[in-house]
């Protein structure tokens, strides 16, 4: 499998060709501070092996070990950053609609301040006209009815 993609900025950080403030690393993942932090703690947890998105990572034979290492890194970094007790947000922007800008799989660990309950400011998303979200009048923080999604195949109700 290909180890490093030359024009990939995160492969180059992992290879030590571009500087970054590394806060944790092991054989499988490297974690460094985001260059444009959105909160007091903003760390990117990046598998060393290059895949473009979490969907591509999911197709590799190493996905189980990689995600176990990612979760271990989350735990270690949350403790070392002092945000384990108060909490944080852990997200993977994926693809165009997910707002992914760097196509080397990575996870954001964001915290150190209250982030609020909403993922995005109310009204900041334009849903397709036939989507239930478009039927909800936008009145600040009014609760939005949850959208009921069908179960994925293979998930049984216990």
Q: Residue 20's binding partner, choosing from Zn ion, ligand AMP, none, with beta-carbon cut-off 5 to 8 A by kind?
A: ligand AMP
Cite the DSSP H helix spans in 31-112: 54-58, 63-80
> By CB under 5 A, is residue 106 in contact with Zn ion?
no
- Residue 50 Cα to chain centre, angstroms: 16
The reply to whether 106 belongs to the active site is yes
Q: Identify which of residues 19 and 137 has a Cβ nearer to Zn ion in the complex.
A: 19
Give the count of beta carbons closer than 10 Å to the beta carbon of residue 79.
11
Q: How far apart are the first and last CA of the chain?
A: 39
> By CB under 6 A, is residue 53 in contact with ligand AMP?
no
Indicate which residue of 42, 50, 104, 106 is catalytic: 106
> By CB under 6 A, is residue 102 in contact with ligand AMP?
yes
d(CA 6, CA 12) in angstroms, rounded, equals 7
When binding is defined by CB under 5 A, the residue of 24, 31, 44, 50 that contacts Zn ion is 50
> By CB under 5 A, is residue 22 in contact with Zn ion?
no
By DSSP bridging, strand 41-47 and strand 107-111 are antiparallel
Bridge partners of 8, per DSSP, are none
When binding is defined by CB under 6 A, the residue of 25, 34, 52, 62 that contacts ligand AMP is 34
> By CB under 6 A, is residue 101 in contact with ligand AMP?
yes
Angle at 150 between CA 108 and CA 104, to 5 degrees: 25
> By CB under 5 A, is residue 15 in contact with Zn ion?
no
Active site positions, annotated:
106
Residues that bind ligand AMP (CB under 6 A): 9, 18, 20, 34-36, 44, 93, 99-102
């Amino acid at each position: 499998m290909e180890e490093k993609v030359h024009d990939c900025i995160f492969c180059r950080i992992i290879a030590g060709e571009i500087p970054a403030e590394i806060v944790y690393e092991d054989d499988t993942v490297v974690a460094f501070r985001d260059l444009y932090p959105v909160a007091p703690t903003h760390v990117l947890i990046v598998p060393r092996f290059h895949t473009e998105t979490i969907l591509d990572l999911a197709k590799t034979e190493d996905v189980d070990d990689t995600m176990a290492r990612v979760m271990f890194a989350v735990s270690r970094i949350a403790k070392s950053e002092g945000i384990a007790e108060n909490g944080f947000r852990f997200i993977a922007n994926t693809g165009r609609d997910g707002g992914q800008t760097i196509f080397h799989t990575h996870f954001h660990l964001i915290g150190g301040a209250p982030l609020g309950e909403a993922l995005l400011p109310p009204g900041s998303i334009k849903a397709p006209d036939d989507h239930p979200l478009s039927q909800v009048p936008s009145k600040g923080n009014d609760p939005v009815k949850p959208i009921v999604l069908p179960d994925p195949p293979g998930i049984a109700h216990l």
